[in-house]
Structure 1
Amino acid sequence: MPYISKEKREVLDPVIEDLIQAFRGLQSDDPSDNTQANLNYVISRLLDRMYTSNYQEIVNALGTLVATALEYYRRVAAPYENQKCHDEGDVYNIDTASKVVEKYVSDNADK
């Protein structure tokens, strides 16, 4: 979870703001700059510096990445998609989806 104490945020937020400014500087110097590659580089370097190369540390790093992606999806992407679904219309047959969920729940009730 990204919900850390106010004290930790006060330490980390200025560093994050500096990093964002560095990204913006790269974009202004080169409009074709690949922001995704730059972000990937920063994340990769953080992982390389913060985690050692043993199985538990690799699992910890991957778990952090997955949890971050899921939380981003839950808080940012899902509401955006829900709004688009509302605005443009759903593509899924809700009755069919509900039946699939009901079957899954009933099949796994005893597990």
Structure 2
Amino acid sequence: MPYVTDKWKHKYQRCLVHLASRFIEDTMGGKENTGVVVYAVYLLLKRIYGEGNFETRSNALKVLESAKLEYYRRVMVPYEDKKIIENGDVI
């Protein structure tokens, strides 16, 4: 994943933390109403990448795939590793 500099992190951190807090509240910690998060992601992608040529529009797919892989690497893998230690491996 291309990492962003502190300049860009600071520019967006406050508003993203606020937005995430709203989503946590509105989705009961991610357990309900997941559609509102899907809607927000879709709307961001559409507004940022929805015009222009194929290259510009396909950048939205690159963003989604990169975010998916980063989430898996940083959130899911440590969770799975913890569960392997707790419950044993499947093999």
Q: Which position in structure 2 is the counterpart of 1:95?
A: none
Q: Which position in structure 2 is the counterpart of 1:83?
A: 82
> Whose relative contact order is higher, 1 or 2, with alpha carbons under 8 Å and at least 6 apart?
1
For 1:9 and 1:62, locate their aligned partners in 2 and report how far apart those are by CA, in whole Å: 22
Unaligned runs of 5+ in 2: none
For 1:27 and 1:14, locate their aligned partners in 2 and report how far apart those are by CA, in whole Å: 20
Q: Which position in structure 1 is the counterpart of 2:44?
A: 46
Cα root mean square deviation, aligned: 2.1
For 1:89 and 1:24, locate their aligned partners in 2 and report how far apart those are by CA, in whole Å: 32
The Cα shift of 1:56 comes to: 1.1
- TM-score, normalised relative to structure 2: 0.81
Q: Give CA-to-partner distance per residue, 1:34-57, whole Å, 9 cap, x none.
A: 1x2111111000001000253212
Structure whose CA Rg is larger: 1
For 2:71 and 2:79, locate their aligned partners in 1 and report how far apart those are by CA, in whole Å: 11
Identity of aligned residues (%): 34
Match for 1:66: what amino acid?
Answer: E
Q: 1:84 to 1:24 in 2, by over 3 A?
A: closer
Match for 2:69: what amino acid?
Answer: L
- TM-score, normalised relative to structure 1: 0.68
Unaligned runs of 5+ in 1: 93-111
Match for 1:23: what amino acid?
Answer: F
